[in-house]
Amino acid sequence: MGNPVTPEFRVSYAHFVRPHAIEDGDPLKYSCKIVMDRSNEKHADFVARLTKLAQKLAKDKFGKLPKKLQLPFSNGDDSDNPEFEGCTVFNCSKKEEFGQPEVVDTNLDPVIDPKEIYSGMFCRVSLSPYCWEYGNKKGVSFGLVNVQKTRDGDPLGGGGVRADQEFDKWDDDDDDDEFSGSTHVDDDEDDDTPF
């Protein structure tokens, strides 16, 4: 049986290019947050099938289904992020030591330009479910395997203004004392504000 592959979704907190650590001392990981819209039939069906798979793996691993099996799914309505409203949300990750996930496009060609990989794009990811046990807790989590970018979307996280939109072209004859493109109009010499 191959790795489960998500339906297309709009990815959040995409760390496919550079690994990161959530807290100091944590291992570096490639990761993303998977956001499944509960009103989307494909998304809802995928979460249901993933839940059944996790329960089966846990039963096989622990001999029986733990009464309080911990799964990574959370209700987006409980989040402060409005993007998660009405969604089931969960993380998947891959430790840096196991290598960067491959990212391909819809033609299965590698996506090499890191600017083409960002939070807000639409993609599919393949997952590797695994069981874990820590103290008295038992659960199933999902490792990140590979990524397929399916289309562009509005970037999340406030990417800011592009440089070519903020600056005019420059030449040596420009006056250094002018605020080119600025809306500053106050000529009061006593004004000590920087702009």
In this predicted structure, what is the pLDDT of residue 99?
94
Q: What is the pLDDT of residue 171?
A: 67
Domain harbouring 59, CATH code:
2.40.50.140
Residue 174 resides in a domain = no
pLDDT at residue number 192: 55
* 178 belongs to a structural domain: no
For residue 26, tell me if it sits in a domain.
yes
pLDDT along the chain (195 residues), means of 10: 91 95 86 97 97 96 94 95 94 95 97 95 97 94 97 79 67 56 49 50
Q: Quick check: is 120 in a domain?
A: yes
Region of 20 (left: φ > 0; alpha: ψ -120 to 50; beta: rest) is beta
Tell me the whole-structure pTM to 2 decimals: 0.77
- Is residue 156 included in any domain, yes or no? no
pLDDT at 24: 79
pLDDT of residue 195: 41
Domain presence at residue 61: yes
> What pLDDT shows up at residue 165?
62
Tally of domains in the chain: 1
- What domain range is 131 assigned to? 9-151
161 in a domain, yes or no? Answer: no
* Half-sphere exposure at residue 34, Cβ-oriented, CA atoms within 13 angstroms: 28
pLDDT of residue 175: 56
Is residue 40 in a domain?
yes
pLDDT at res. 53: 96
Give the number of other Cβ atoms within 10 Å of residue 77's Cβ. Answer: 12
- pLDDT at residue 22 in the model: 76
